[in-house]
Amino acid sequence: MSNERVDGIRAAVEPVLDRLRKSAAERERDRVHPYDDVRALAQERITLIGIAVEDGGAGGTVRDVADLIIAVARADSNVAQALRSTFLSANQVASHPDLPGRAVILRRLRNGDLFAGTANERSGGPGGVANTRIRRDGDGWVVNGEKYYSTGGLYASWFTGTATAEDGRVLSFTVPVDRPGVHRLDDFDAVGQRLTASGTTRLVDVRLVGDEVVARDNVRRDTPWPGSFAQLYLAAVQAGIAAAALDDAAWFVRERARPIKHSTAARSADDPYVRQTVGDIAARAHAARSVVLLAAEALHEIRGLSGARGRAAAAAAAVTVAQTGVIAIESALRAAELLFDVGGASITDRGLGLDRHWRNARTAANHNPRQWKAAAAGAFHLTGEDPPTTGLF
């Protein structure tokens, strides 16, 4: 059944996505962040999709959210990735009526605010260790440290991170990005996803007050796989990249390609081998999209479940998401590679920027390697072993 609010938002953002699509290659080449278009998406309240109408949201399901993410990533996967923290916050609000600070997060989402956040650091030690420090100062706190992979940090209104207190507790803090001492650096330098604003957030004597500092939410839920939606999000980005590779393959064949001298066709679009290649790319894009939407439905179905039934359903859904990640990653990488088989040497011109699809897919895939996903899924099917609850499944 169509949701008028969801449909309205999708219609309103289509011109923005069209602008992003047309400018993506040039912006990546020149390292130009699309601040205005990202703000335009936020102003249309896209992150309210999936949140109940009674909470001030647009309604819709996890499938509606996943479908939107694929559309954004198809236009520009950098933008989709940069919005990830905001969509993760929105999903928490939609999934957990008892979420600490839920009313505040809802108010910010309804205001069109964007979020960034990370616990990651480059200061040594195993993942999850917080070398960022927080100390009491009068009736408030002061935090110092550096966080990396601050995805979407340049676009955000709010930054959330973790820090270790003097008594050894790890606390979570949220601070407006314009607070004195918060420095956002555009220093992310991966081979792909270069415009995701995923660089360093440096915190220098940043003062925090009131409810800006909270104990980490360590509530043990019946469904302890909080990372499933985050992993689905990454798979949706991959599906969008595969779809973008299909778009560019079709465009190049129709507008730029010339038949190879051995071809019997007068137009590249009529060459059977080119048609087969485009069909192969389309199949990969279709596979990625299909598994993402199926996994989204699985995540939606576990909302509100509890007890043994809820745990079993959540474990199965986490495995479904893990399997989805494997297929989406491999589909995007293959689609991005096959793209170059629809043309000759001219398709590799740097000005076209078509290599960005593979680079973006490869970089996004390295967030959480697919071998671990496949192994966890295999263990589940062979022995019934639940996937890990680390947030990566």
pLDDT category of residue 127 using cuts at 50, 70 and 90: low
The tokens 């555009």 sit on which residue? 186
Rounded Cα distance between 362 and 327, Å, is 14
φ/ψ bin of 168: left (φ > 0), alpha (ψ from -120 to 50), beta (otherwise): left
pLDDT category of residue 222 using cuts at 50, 70 and 90: confident
Q: Say which DSSP state 213 is in.
A: E
Is pLDDT above 90 for 257?
no
Do 171 and 163 contact (CB within 8 A), yes or no?
yes
Instruction: Kindly state which CATH superfamily the domain 133-215 is placed in.
Output: Butyryl-CoA Dehydrogenase, subunit A, domain 2 (2.40.110.10)
Work out the average pLDDT over 12-40: 97
Domain ranges in the chain are 4-114, 133-215, 228-383
Whether this prediction's pTM lies above 0.85 is answered by yes
The tokens 């990372």 sit on which residue? 227
Do 342 and 249 contact (CB within 8 A), yes or no?
yes
228-383 is a CATH 1.20.140.10 domain: yes
pLDDT category of residue 259 using cuts at 50, 70 and 90: confident
Better-scored residue on pLDDT, 260 or 197: 197
Is pLDDT above 90 for 128?
no
Encode pLDDT of 273-298 as tens digits: 999 999 999 999 999 999 999 999 99
DSSP bridge partners of 170: 164
* Dihedrals phi, psi of 49, to nearest 5 degrees: -65, 130
Encode pLDDT of 366-379 as tens digits: 988 899 999 999 99
Give the pLDDT score at 219. Answer: 53
Is pLDDT above 60 for 218?
no
pLDDT category of residue 135 using cuts at 50, 70 and 90: very high
Do 131 and 124 contact (CB within 8 A), yes or no?
yes
Out of 3.40.50.10470, 2.40.50.140, 1.10.101.10, 1.10.540.10, which CATH number does the structure's domain 4-114 have?
Answer: 1.10.540.10
Encode pLDDT of 82-117 as tens digits: 999 999 999 999 999 988 899 999 999 999 999 999
- Compute how many other C-beta atoms are within 10 angstroms of the C-beta atom of residue 15: 11
Work out the average pLDDT over 357-373: 95
For the chain, percent of residues with pLDDT exceeding 90? 86
Is pLDDT above 80 for 129?
no
φ/ψ bin of 304: left (φ > 0), alpha (ψ from -120 to 50), beta (otherwise): left
| 234-to-27, 64, 88, 103 alpha-carbon distances in Å | 22, 15, 11, 27
Lowest mean pLDDT among 56-60, 108-112, 166-170, 326-330: 166-170
Is pLDDT above 90 for 313?
yes
Return mean pLDDT, the chain: 94
